[in-house]
């Protein structure tokens, strides 16, 4: 999912001493320069994959199998129309927009080391924005990102892995299990996981991980209840019961520390069990289920909840791929007063090559939030429920090997017990794309 990933790091106390925007700027710049996924354009990501990707045999879609030329660059220019730039029910602002972006991918493979790098940047300008009163109230969007995946086999038994993601963006991103579902100004986000795996016997192995996550909004009003650091430690015990199936027991310990004292710092213990299964070389699934137990440092009652997460990846031949993720868990809230929420989120991504020239993609995400109430001295905040749905469609026609025409549509719908929090939004776009 991008959902359910954990994070890497620094000592929490030292991180909280970052000097406001200055400290964050240094860290953001360093992360993006070192290490991500999409650059959004008109609601649809720039994906730096060539039109010839359909020629890669399905059996060669795994880690470490790469084309002869490992670099690919994608440049896109798009124009479109947005019927609710402010993502608001009462302050709707329509606008035409122009978008430009560039994305680069680099893949490297050897018998011991596999590396995959994606990076890019995009910008969107809204021609009629600026008259609204939304939290962002800016006539542009930005998106710069960096994603790195590295696996190194230090020995036949010992493997080292790192997955690093960092982005600086404006639009809400439903592929991430955090942040607001509304356009709320620019924000920096990173999620970095480091894992050491060891094969003790032919059937038994362990994986010890550390994950660091952070989010920071430029808008101080939003950042007051969103800016935070997350540190998660995990240990996984895996037993191979069949050549294609492993049983898993896992423990995680998470520390959440907010930049501002709003009584949300917490510690959480996870006790999970699950299974990893390969149905075929093209079809694999992973599931974890159990419970989480959260304690707050001050002012809040302890909480516990069932926990579930799952992923599924399926390649239907050489022309179609499907990925699905889901999670049910306690999450950090995206409102000021309600201290926590229990969230179910699920999403699917589908890519299909209709013909050698025509490629299409679909991404659909659904989120259901149950916000807890708060009664603290004279402050009362009632519990409420909120749902969000986002779908993005796109199609690309390859005019030549390198040049293509593309178009897409994105729809977002938010329903809430608090009527003013709900909104609907439609975005239409079309443009030109060059890949080399």
The confidence score (pLDDT) of residue 39 equals 38
Q: Which two structure tokens, joined as six digits, stand for 52?
A: 């010839």
pLDDT in tens, 208-264: 999 999 999 998 888 888 899 999 999 999 999 999 999 999 999 999 999 986 778
Q: Judge whether 395 and 408 are in contact, CB under 8 Å.
A: yes
Nearest Cα neighbor of 129 from 180, 71, 83 is: 83
| Averaged pLDDT of the chain | 83
Q: pLDDT-derived band of residue 130, with 50, 70 and 90 as boundaries?
A: low
> Which residues lie across from 304 on neighbouring strands?
293
Q: What is the pLDDT of residues 159-198, one digit of tens each?
A: 999 999 999 999 888 887 776 888 888 999 999 999 999 9
Q: How far apart are CA 397 and CA 140, in angstroms?
A: 28
With 0-12 CB in 10 A as exposed, 13-18 as middle and 19+ as buried, what is 201? exposed
Model confidence pLDDT, tens digit, residues 73-116: 999 999 999 999 989 888 888 999 999 999 999 998 888 999 99
- pLDDT tens digit string along 265-320? 899 999 999 999 999 889 999 999 999 999 988 767 789 999 999 999 999 888 99
Place of tokens 């994606």: 118
Could you say which DSSP state residue 43 is in? T
Question: Residue holding tokens 């660091």?
Answer: 212
The CA-atom distances, in angstroms, between 60 and each of 57, 63, 155, 318, 341 are 5, 8, 24, 10, 41
Helix (H, G, I), strand (E, B), or coil: what is residue 402?
A: coil
- Rounded-to-10 torsion of CA 85, 123, 99, 396: -110
Output the pTM of the full model.
Answer: 0.81
In angstroms, the CA 436 to CA 421 distance is 43
Lowest mean pLDDT among 67-71, 113-117, 121-125, 371-375: 67-71
Which tens digit of pLDDT belongs to each residue from 365-407? 999 999 988 766 666 678 899 999 999 999 999 999 999 999 9
Q: Which of 20-29, 117-126, 142-151, 375-384 has the lowest mean pLDDT?
A: 20-29
Provide φ and ψ at 22, rounded to 5°: -65, -50
pLDDT at 203 over 90: yes
What is the C-alpha separation between 269 and 290, in angstroms, rounded?
A: 11
What is the rounded average pLDDT of the residues 11-16? 40
Q: How far is CA 232 from the centre of its chain?
A: 17
Nearest-Å Rg of the Cα atoms of the chain is 22
């Amino acid at each position: 999912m991008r959902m359910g990933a954990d994070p890497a790091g620094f000592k929490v106390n030292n991180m909280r001493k970052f000097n406001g925007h200055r400290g964050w700027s240094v860290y953001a710049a360093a992360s993006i320069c070192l290490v991500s996924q999409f650059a959004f354009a008109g609601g649809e990501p720039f994906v730096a994959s060539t039109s010839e990707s359909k020629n890669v045999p399905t059996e060669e879609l795994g880690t470490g199998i790469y084309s002869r030329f490992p670099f690919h660059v994608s440049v896109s220019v798009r124009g479109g129309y947005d019927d609710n730039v402010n993502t608001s029910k009462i302050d709707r602002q329509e606008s035409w927009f122009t978008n430009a972006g560039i994305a680069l991918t680099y893949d490297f493979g050897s018998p011991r080391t596999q590396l995959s790098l994606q990076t890019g940047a995009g910008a969107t300008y809204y021609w009629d924005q600026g008259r609204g009163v939304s939290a962002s109230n800016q006539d542009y969007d930005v998106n710069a990102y960096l994603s790195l995946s590295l696996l190194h086999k230090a020995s036949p038994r010992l493997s080292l892995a790192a997955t690093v993601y960092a982005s600086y963006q404006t639009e809400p991103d439903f592929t991430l299990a955090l942040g607001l579902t509304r356009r709320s100004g620019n924000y920096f986000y990173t999620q970095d996981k480091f894992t050491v795996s060891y094969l003790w016997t032919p059937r038994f192995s362990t994986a010890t991980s550390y994950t660091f996550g952070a989010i920071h909004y430029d808008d101080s009003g939003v950042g007051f209840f969103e800016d935070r650091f997350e540190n998660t430690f995990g240990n996984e015990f895996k037993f191979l019961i069949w050549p294609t199936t492993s049983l898993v027991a896992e423990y995680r310990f998470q520390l959440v520390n907010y930049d501002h004292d709003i009584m949300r710092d917490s510690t959480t213990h996870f006790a999970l069990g699950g299974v990893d299964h390969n149905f075929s070389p093209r079809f694999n699934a992973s599931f974890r289920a159990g419970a989480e137990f959260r304690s707050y440092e001050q002012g809040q009652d302890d909480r516990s909840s069932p926990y579930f997460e799952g992923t599924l990846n399926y390649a239907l031949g050489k022309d179609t791929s499907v990925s699905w993720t889901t999670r049910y868990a306690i999450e950090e809230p995206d409102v000021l007063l309600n201290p926590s929420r229990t969230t179910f989120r699920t999403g699917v991504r589908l890519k299909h090559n209709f013909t050698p020239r025509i490629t299409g993609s679909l991404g659909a995400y659904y989120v259901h939030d149950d916000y807890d109430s708060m009664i603290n001295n004279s402050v009362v905040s009632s519990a409420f429920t909120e749902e969000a749905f986002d779908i993005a469609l796109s199609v690309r026609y390859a005019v030549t090997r390198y040049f293509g025409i593309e178009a897409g549509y994105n729809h977002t719908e938010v329903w809430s017990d608090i009527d003013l929090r709900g909104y609907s939004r439609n975005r239409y776009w079309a443009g030109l794309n060059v890949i080399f």
